[in-house]
Structure formats: C-alpha cells, structure tokens
Chains A and B, each alone.
Chain A
Amino acid sequence: LALIVIFVAVGLGQSAAGHRVLSSLGLAASPQAYTALSFTEPLQLGKVGQYGPARVPVAFTVANRQHRTTSYRWQIRVGSSLRVSGRVTIAPGASANVEHRVLVPCRRPPYDRKTRHVKRIPPSRKQVSVLLTGYAQSIDFWEQCVG
C-alpha cells in the first residue's frame, strides 16, 4: 500500500495540476530566464583601423531565453554618444540579428601643404557599445583610429 501511494503521488506530480502544486510549493521551477547579447561576427571587430571618420558596421544578436515573447529596446553608442536605437520583439527560445552602420568619428590626419605629406597624429581608439536598456546588459568593442 505504501508503495502504491508513493507511485501514485509521483505520477500525479507529473500532471499539469501536480506541476502547479509543486511550483506553488517551490519544488519545481522553470529553467533560468536570461537574455544573451552577442556580436554576430566577433572575429571581425576593430580589425581594420579607420583613417578618418567612418561608418562602421555593427551586427549583433539578441537571444531570448525569457520563456515569453519579449520586446527589447537596444542602443548603439560610440563613447557616450547615442548613435542609433531601436526595438526588436523576439519569441521565446528565438534569436534576432540586428545590423546598423554607425559613424565612428576618427580624426583624419591633417595634410601639410608645405611638405605635401600627411601629418602623423597619435593613434587613438573609440569604444562602440551595444546596450539592452532595461536589462543592464551591454557588449562593446574598440575601433582603432590610425594615426
């Protein structure tokens, strides 16, 4: 009899009602909910130095692991300046790719008319960030400005 009671209880635990009871008791939980933000081509980031202001492609992927359809607001910033923002709605378990070109204001080395050469300036770099607002998540890369 004891064995039968145990087996019946275990069997009921698997039913929808049983799962609700287990969840309400704190004994069952959905898998962890999270959102993954990544660059689509991480190997290509900042590999080519910019010789003056340039529109740089920024391609990223948002993966929704929140177990519900979610609308994400995203921003692309260069340094602290907002360049572009948008919204993407993603079904649970799905991913979305977003791609934009943003202006990276690298300084063009000045041309010296006397010597007819381009003046050398110190190399610099600009940080390009992608943020998911409301999720405190961001990714970023350094774009090199050639001196």
Chain B
Amino acid sequence: VSALPSLAGLALIAALVPLRSSWAAALALVILCLVVPGVIALRAVRVPTDAILRFPVYIVAASLFVIIAGGLLADLVGPSVGVARPLHGLATAFTVLGVSTVLWLIGLTSPDAARLPWSSLLRRPSLLLGLAVPALAAIGALLLTNGHGPVVARIGACVTVATLIGVVIFAHRLTRGQVALLLFAASLAAEWAFSIRSQEIVGFDISTEIHVAQHTQAVGIWHQLNRNNAYSAMLSLTVLPSTLAALTGLSPLIAFKVLFPAIAALFPLTAYFLGDRIVSPGFAAGAAALIIAQNYFFQLMPQLARQEIGLLFFAALLVAMLDVRLRRGPRLVLIVIFAAGLIVSHYSSAYLAIAAVVIAVVLHAVVGRFRDGLAVISLPWATAAVVLIGGAALWYGALTHSASNLSSFASSLNKSGLDLLPARNGNIVNSYLNGNLVQGVSATTFEQLAVEDYRSRSAYIQPLPQAGEPQYAVRDASVPTPATRLAPLGLLIKIVATAVDELMLVAGVIGAVILGVRRRGDLRARMIGLLSFATVAVLGVIRFSGTAAAAYNQQRALLQSLILLTVTAAWLAEAAVWRLKRAQLPVELGLVAALGVLFAYQSGLSALVVGGGTSLNLSQSGEDFERQYTTPAELAGATWATDASGRQLLYADRYGQLRLFASSGRLALTDVTPETIDRYAWIYGTRTNVVLGRTRGEIGNDSSLYAWPNRFLNDYFNVVYSNGDSKVYHR
C-alpha cells in the first residue's frame, strides 16, 4: 500500500502529458517530474526515508538522473525501433515513464523504511507561503522588462534580503522544513530577478547553451551530433531540455529561464543540510545564506544552465559521500549515480570534483593513520574518485571526444606554466585581491593589443589602409551612471562586503583544518573538514594561477567550493562566538548585519541608497543591462548576419557575439576596431553598439569600453541590414 502513491504519481504524469500545453498541467507536471521519478529511484536503491528527509536534495537529483537516463535511452534505442527523431516528440516521455515503472517494480521488495511518508508531507500547505517571495521577484522582473518601471523589482529585492536575514535570525524557532523553504525562496527570488529579465536569454554561456538545446530538440536526436563539442556533449543541455519539453511542455527557453534556476536554488540548501549536523540552526542557515548572497550565485548561475544541473549533482554527490548513517550499499549506488550525473552535466564542475575528491582521498588516508574512528581508506570516497575519473575519461574521451578544454589547459600549462597572479600590482593585498582579475585598459591600448594578437594568430586579416588615419582612432567611452550621493557610505559598504567575503574564506579554511585534524569530534564533521580542505587546495591553484583561472572561471570554482567552505566557516564562527559569552548576542547580530550588507551590495540594492549604477535586476540601463539584455530584434539581426555572411569573416563585439551564439551558434571575431576589421568582413552591431555607440572588447585579462567605430564603418562599409536595434555592415 505504501508504494501506491508513487504509482499514482506516475499515472498522473502519464495522464497529464497529453495536456501539457495547458499552463496548469505544465506546472503540475514540472513538480511531479522533479519528485516522483526520484522517490521511486531512491526506493529502488533502498535509501531509507530518514536519509531522504535529512537530505531532500536526493529526490530532485535522482529525478533528474532518471529523466536524463530515460531520454538518453530513447535517443540511443529510438532509431533502431523506427523512431528517427526520439528527442522531438513524446518518445522520451514514454521512456522516462517506462524506466520509472521498472524502478517502481524493483522497489516493491524494498523495506518499509525506504518509503516516503507522502501524507505527512502534503499536509503542510503553510510551507507554500514562502513561495510568495520568488513570485514577487518574478513579477518585478516582468514589470521591469515590459516597461513598467523598477518599483516592484526593488520592493522584491528588499523583501528577498529581509527574508534571508529573517530566516538566519529566527532559524532556531522554525522547523527544519520551514528554514529550508525560506532559504529556497530567497535563493530562487534572487535568481529569478535576473533570469526572468528580457524576453530572451540573459547571459554569456547560456547564449550558446540555448542554441545547443533548441538545435538538439529541433533535430530530434543527440548521439549523432555530439562529437568534438564540449557543449553538445553535455546531456544537461541536450537530452535533458528535450526530455523535459516532452514531459512538461516547457520549451528550452522557459526551462532555462525559470526551471533551471529553481533547480540551482537547491544548491545552497545543501550547505544548510550539511551544516545543520554540526552547528546550530542559525549558523547552518547562515552558511547557506552566505552562498545565496553572492552575485556569482544569483546572477552568474542562471547564465550557466549546464552548471546549474552539474552543481545539483555535485551537491548530492557530496551529501552521499558524507552521509555516514546511510548503509554502504545504497550509499555506493548513490555515489555512482550522482557522479555519473555530474560528469554528463558539466565538465568543469566534474574536473574540479575529480581534483578535490582525489586530494580528499589522500587526506583521508593521511589523517586516518593518526585519528581513531577514521579508516585509512574510505570505500565510498575511493569509489567516488574511481567513478569520477573513469567516467570522465570514458565520457569526455572515448564516447564524446569533448575534452578539448582539458587538452587546451594542458597545452597552456606547458607553454606558460602556472602564471601566478598575472596582473599583480602594488602591495601584497592588492595583488591577492586583483592579481588574477580582468582589468580595464584604454581604447588605444586595447586596439594595439588586438593588432598584436591578430598579427600572431590571424595573419589572413587584411584591414583597410585608411584604418590607421587619425580621424578613425578609437576613443574611450563610458556608461552614464547616476551620481553617487553618499560616497563615504558606499565605500564603507564595499569594504564591509569585501571583508565579509575574504573573512568567510579565511574562516572556511581554518575551520576545515581544525575539523579535519582535531583530536575529538564526530566522524561526519571530520569528513566535512577534509573534503572542504581538499576543495580549498584546488581553489588556491585557480585563485593564484592565471593558466588555471583561464580554464575555469574563479568565481564559478569558488561557488562550487562554498557548499563546504561556508559550513566550516560557520562552524568556526559559532565556536568563536560561544567563547565570547557576554558579547555573544551583539557579535551574532553584527554577523547577521554584515551578511545583510553583503547581500544588499551584491544585489545592487545598496546603490539605490548611496547612488551609482545598479545591475540588471533593478534597472533598464547601465553596464549590466548593456552587456546582457538581449532583444528579439537583436536576435533577428544576428540571424540575418549569420545567413548573409555564410562562411565569410563576421565581427561582433564581446557581447554582440552572444546574440550570434543564441540565434545560430555562429562564432565571430570580437575585436571591432578599424585596424583589426578585415576589408571584406561582415560586422554585426547590437543596440548597445549602434544606438548607444559603445563597444566592449576583451583580450586575455584586459578589457576595454570604447566608442563604436561609426565613422569608419559609415565611410568604408555598406549598411546592409537595419531593424532599429541592430545593424549589419559589409563591403
């Protein structure tokens, strides 16, 4: 009887699939598909209910694994049974339902302890109230996009910050479920405030990802397309969006803008669930809040669809590795499943996981020799290492031939070594903070760098002889920003935010060391410490090495590591606060206030008080808006440019190329300066270029903002296309 609700869930999915064009049915299907297959799979693996309730992230991760596996099965088997385009129609939906049914039958023999208490979970509708916060953020983003001003978006941002602070302060009075739901609400609200902006995709990598997803769905088959392309090799961008479309009716565009951020919003919760085992509820909530408050979480993640899925599998993998109360059999199966899910979802996250897990296995062996209760070899951790390494070699190597980014890293390493802090300048603090970051250079310097770069790499480029004339010299440009009203307060907020970030890292590292090697303490805490320290080691390499940072963006690596580092930081902070006795309350309130300042600064909310530019979530102008905001007319222009230019050279600025990626996947040369434009080239200009007159370029760690070379283009090129938001030039 206890297995029947899962079967009913499957039947409901099957009944609703034909109705998925209805919004209500689609919403129900999304919820059901993220829960039911996972619950069934976990029962088939005999994961007990208490483990699932301790770490509910298992459910969504297992559901995604079943959906990906079902979609992949349909893709591989479909053509041999007469379904030529399995990813285009309902074949994947039926396969997922079939796989789930088989798992349900396997789970029939599992003990009652592995069956979810559906009725008790569904009897708590009060938990839904927290979801009003992301709904408000979504409404604010829609109103701002549709030209109705930023008021609701700003209110939404304030409510999001207040929710996050509130849940940290009152965590000890709330149930675990309530804390988790409010953290999820704040996390999702912060992400939707960015991802729902614009009628199109917003962001860098996601512009290519959406093309890959839409192309795969249109072609209807994946395994014949995937060779030699790192993006196409990721099932999170190919099979998953197509299968989700078949199951729920969500197009890849809506899935990337709405659903994937909701999945990524579960990532910080894992820090709470892990922290909840070793610190008090307030500090555990604080650990998750530290992740949510980072703009590289709420702004960057919705721009990286493959990493959103990859990080969920990574979180589930860590949880399984650290779940010492789970029996060995189910634990090993979960580790294999989630490691496989990580590998096929995001290569960079998988590479970082491999390095961290291998280091952790070594640390485990070393510490295990000196500390009681810790075996020298941890079978689950060794299994994770073997599956990650073997799986990555198999998937990126033999099966998809998509390890070009790894071979490119190895080649850079051979050529330049680690290239420590390539932009270090001034004192040691400044070198540490900014030594490996992109820095701004003047337009003239940028053009010189571009010319040198082209001479060495692109000798076939033949600029016009007139390009060097003085009247066509590139000029610096700037984005108009509102005046700063309270500069000292703004500076103070920036200092506090930077200090919180850096102290969090320091505390995380110290906490990890103490937890890992201290004499006393429980096994789970020690394992968290060891794994956390292993991620720090990898992070350190990326933080200091220009070569490593070029291979994997520092902030994305940091975000992946924060799932453990924030927990060890919270543990150290709590241990320190407990020693303060009388000053305990003021210090705790100070920490919460610092968290609030960090979130307000990162979300752009503090700029509303102190002045200055705000980010995309709060305004219809500014640096962020000019870079990321794409209009349908710009995409139409990009499509036309791609079709018209054929195989000839096509130029666009750094952010103009995103429109080309999104519309056609077309690559472009990105240095639009008179002295680097080929005389027979095509040039695509976005709204920012042709209406606002600004161009952005980046070479290595040097970036520049300069005036669109309008005069040069008008004098020597034809304007062959125009739609108000974009132009195409050619001669």
Contacts and interface: CB of A to CB of B under 8 A. Distances in A.
Interface stretch (A68-76, A77-85, A108-116, A137-145): A137-145
A47 B468 CA distance: 24
B718 interface: yes
A73 B274 CA distance: 66
Interface stretch (A3-11, A48-56, A96-104): A3-11
B146 interface: yes
Interface string A1-41: 11100111011011000000000001111011011111100
Contacts of A43: 644, 730
Interface in B122-157: 125, 128, 139, 142-143, 145-148
Identify the interface centre among A8, A39, A46, A135: most chain B CB within 10 Å of its CB. Answer: A39
B720 A139 contact: yes
Contact of A137 (B128, B145, B199, B724): B724
Given A10-B27, A11-B24, A38 B722 contact: yes
B723 A7 contact: no
Nearest to A11: B24
B640 interface: yes
B718 A42 contact: yes
B378 interface: no
A26 B199 contact: no
Contact of A8 (B24, B640, B718): B24
Contacts of A32: 199, 631-633, 725
B720 A11 contact: no
Contact of A42 (B28, B636, B720, B725): B720
Interface in B627-659: 631-633, 636-637, 640, 644
Report, as a range, how many residues of chain B touch the other chain: 20 to 34
B143 A27 contact: yes
Contacts of B723: 34-37, 63, 65, 137
Interface string B82-122: 00000000000000000000000000000000000000000
A34 B143 CA distance: 20
Nearest to B138: A27
Q: Which 8 A-B pairs have the closest CB atoms?
A: A11-B24, A141-B718, A42-B720, A36-B723, A26-B148, A38-B721, A34-B633, A29-B146
A32 B146 CA distance: 10
Given A2-B128, A7-B28, A34-B636, A27 B146 contact: yes
A138 B721 CA distance: 8
B719 interface: yes
B199 A31 contact: yes
A3 B728 CA distance: 50
Nearest to B200: A32
A141 B719 CA distance: 6
Interface in B706-731: 716, 718-725, 728, 730-731
17 contacts: A1-B125, A3-B125, A11-B22, A13-B23, A14-B23, A28-B146, A32-B632, A34-B725, A36-B640, A38-B640, A38-B721, A43-B644, A43-B730, A137-B723, A138-B722, A139-B722, A141-B720
A89 to B, nearest CB: 19
A137 B142 CA distance: 29
Contacts of B27: 6-7, 10
B22 A35 contact: no
What is the interface of chain A mostly: helix, strand, loop, or mixed?
mixed
Contacts of B640: 36, 38
A37 to B, nearest CB: 5
B154 to A, nearest CB: 15
A1 B723 CA distance: 49
Contact of B720 (A3, A14, A38): A38
A97 to B, nearest CB: 14
Nearest to A141: B718
A37 B142 contact: no
B718 A37 contact: no
B635 to A, nearest CB: 10
A45 interface: yes
B722 A27 contact: no
A26 B146 contact: yes
A36 B722 contact: yes
Interface of A: 1-3, 6-8, 10-11, 13-14, 26-29, 31-32, 34-39, 42-43, 45-46, 63, 65, 135-142
Interface of B: 22-24, 27-28, 125, 128, 139, 142-143, 145-148, 199, 631-633, 636-637, 640, 644, 716, 718-725, 728, 730-731
Nearest to B28: A7
Nearest to B714: A140
A8 B24 CA distance: 7
Contact of A35 (B23, B24, B28, B724): B724
A28 B139 CA distance: 10
Nearest to B720: A42
Contacts of A140: 718-719
Nearest to B718: A141
B413 to A, nearest CB: 44
A135 B722 CA distance: 11
Contact of A7 (B24, B631, B644, B728): B24
A7 B728 CA distance: 45
B79 to A, nearest CB: 35
A26 B142 contact: yes
Contacts of B125: 1-3
A90 to B, nearest CB: 14
B724 A34 contact: yes
A45 B143 contact: no
Contact of B722 (A1, A3, A28, A37): A37
A47 B644 CA distance: 16
Nearest to A12: B24
A37 B720 CA distance: 8
B724 A31 contact: no
Contacts of A139: 718-722
A34 B23 CA distance: 28
Contacts of A135: 724
Contacts of B637: 36
A139 B716 CA distance: 14
B88 to A, nearest CB: 24
Identify the interface centre among B125, B145, B718, B731: most chain A CB within 10 Å of its CB. Answer: B718
B22 A14 contact: yes
Contacts of B143: 26-27
Contacts of B724: 34-35, 135-137
A39 B728 CA distance: 11
Identify the interface centre among A27, A35, A42, A139: most chain B CB within 10 Å of its CB. Answer: A42
A31 B24 contact: no
Given A34-B723, A34-B725, A42-B718, 18 more contacts: A11-B23, A11-B24, A13-B23, A14-B24, A26-B146, A26-B148, A27-B142, A29-B145, A29-B147, A31-B199, A32-B199, A35-B723, A37-B721, A38-B640, A38-B722, A39-B718, A43-B730, A138-B722
Nearest to A8: B24
Nearest to B682: A42
B214 to A, nearest CB: 16
A14 B670 CA distance: 42
Nearest to B715: A142
Contacts of A7: 24, 27-28
Contacts of B128: 2-3, 6
A36 B23 contact: no
A72 to B, nearest CB: 13
Identify the interface centre among B637, B716, B719: most chain A CB within 10 Å of its CB. Answer: B719
B385 to A, nearest CB: 43
Given A32-B631, A36-B636, A10 B718 contact: no
A2 B127 CA distance: 10
Given A3-B125, A26-B142, A36 B721 contact: yes
Nearest to A7: B24
